[in-house]
Amino acid sequence: MRQHNRQNWKELVRLAAEDRIKGAIEIARDAAEAFALAESQNAEPGEILNAVTNFVTRQSAMAPVLRLSAEIKNAIDTGSLKLVTKVAIEWLEKLSDSLHRFEVELIKSFELSVYKPWVFHSSSSTVSEGIKALAAERSIIGDAYVSESSPGSEGVNTAALLSEIGWETVLMPDSVVFDKILNNDIEVVILGCDAFDDKMFVNKSGSGAIASLASSQQIPVELWATTHKILPSNVLGHLDFSQQGNVEYPGFDGQVEQPLFGFGNMKHVSLIRTETGVMKTDDIKMFMNKLPDIPSGLI
């Protein structure tokens, strides 16, 4: 666990709830670290429950957040703070292990070429770790088009990472990426995601449209995610996408709609890579069926 033991656990949960830069795995990890401190800081069950509820409200589109919060809530319902600590620590271990296993699986099975540029949208810890592993272990480095990912501009972080490890990287507005895809000047589209099931996925705004357009041009679309992003059946449609980006247009005083998250259709995804290997629709359904329900108070 990182050195948070002197910080107030509630403040750490609040910071995770307000984070608009990190990916879902990182945010869930930050929150798990915070909840792991709650017992040692003499937290009351009601305080933890309030923190969980606020956390989910502020990060309502992320599967790891929902699943972690559901387990913390269930632990609180048993009246055992020790169980809250145990759940939080187990989540820290599982998240770290899944990213490592994803890297190992990717290095072993990856077969795409870098003859033409790859497209990246938004920012994902799974994608970032995967790209670093491919560069280090397989010397896979090429050209990249990275959309800035409006309104959060998370793509800037992805572009910086790719440049740092040697990719020839061009950062561009989202609309220019659509032009590149229409010109068929693309090898593959690589997307992370915040949640998925057998039919849909959730990611930063624009991801679904990029996947749809690329699919129509016969350009492969790959979704890179750990299985912590999978949600039980009938949950995805109830997620709250009301979060808006802070975007201002000088000279315009009317309403601006800039949602941070949106849906994509799995039929536009060519391949789903996880720490367990490539998952097909039946694999996802089997995994979904094993997941516990998300309490109604959290969605």
**pLDDT tops 70 at residue 2:** no
User: pLDDT tens digit string along 108-162?
Assistant: 988 888 889 999 998 899 999 999 999 999 999 999 999 999 888 889 999 999 9
Residue 202 in any domain: the answer is: yes
**pLDDT tops 70 at residue 190:** yes
- Judgement on whether residues 152 and 272 belong to the same structural domain of the protein: yes
pLDDT category, 234, cuts 50, 70, 90?
Answer: confident
User: pLDDT tens digit string along 136-145?
Assistant: 999 999 999 9
pLDDT category, 229, cuts 50, 70, 90?
Answer: very high
- Judgement on whether residues 136 and 177 belong to the same structural domain of the protein: yes
Containing domain of residue 72, as a range? 9-96
Residue 2 in any domain: the answer is: no
- Judgement on whether residues 122 and 88 belong to the same structural domain of the protein: no
User: For the chain, how many structural domains are there in total?
Assistant: 2
Residue 172 in any domain: the answer is: yes
Query: Which CATH number does the domain housing residue 220 bear?
Result: 3.40.50.10470
- Judgement on whether residues 144 and 69 belong to the same structural domain of the protein: no
Residue 116 in any domain: the answer is: yes
Residue 4 in any domain: the answer is: no
Residue 43 in any domain: the answer is: yes
- Judgement on whether residues 256 and 128 belong to the same structural domain of the protein: yes
- Judgement on whether residues 228 and 291 belong to the same structural domain of the protein: yes
Residue 267 in any domain: the answer is: yes
Q: What is the pTM of this model?
A: 0.91
- Judgement on whether residues 113 and 213 belong to the same structural domain of the protein: yes
Give the per-residue pLDDT at 243. Answer: 73
How much is the mean pLDDT over the chain? Answer: 92
Give the per-residue pLDDT at 227. Answer: 97
The secondary structure of the chain as a DSSP string is: --S-TTS-HHHHHHHHHH--SS-HHHHHHHHHHHHHHHGGGT--HHHHHHHHHHHHHHTTT-HHHHHHHHHHHHHHHTT-HHHHHHHHHHHHHHHHHHHHHHHHHHHHH-----SSPEEEES--HHHHHHHHHHHHHH----EEEEE--TTTTTHHHHHHHHHHTT-EEEEE-HHHHHHHHHTT--SEEEE--SEE-SSEEEEETTHHHHHHHHHHTT--EEEE--GGGB--TT-GGG-----B-----TT--S----BSEEEEEGGG-SEEEETTEE--HHHHHHHHHHSPPPPGGG-
Q: What is the mean pLDDT of residues 59-88?
A: 93
Between 179 and 2, where is the model more confident?
A: 179
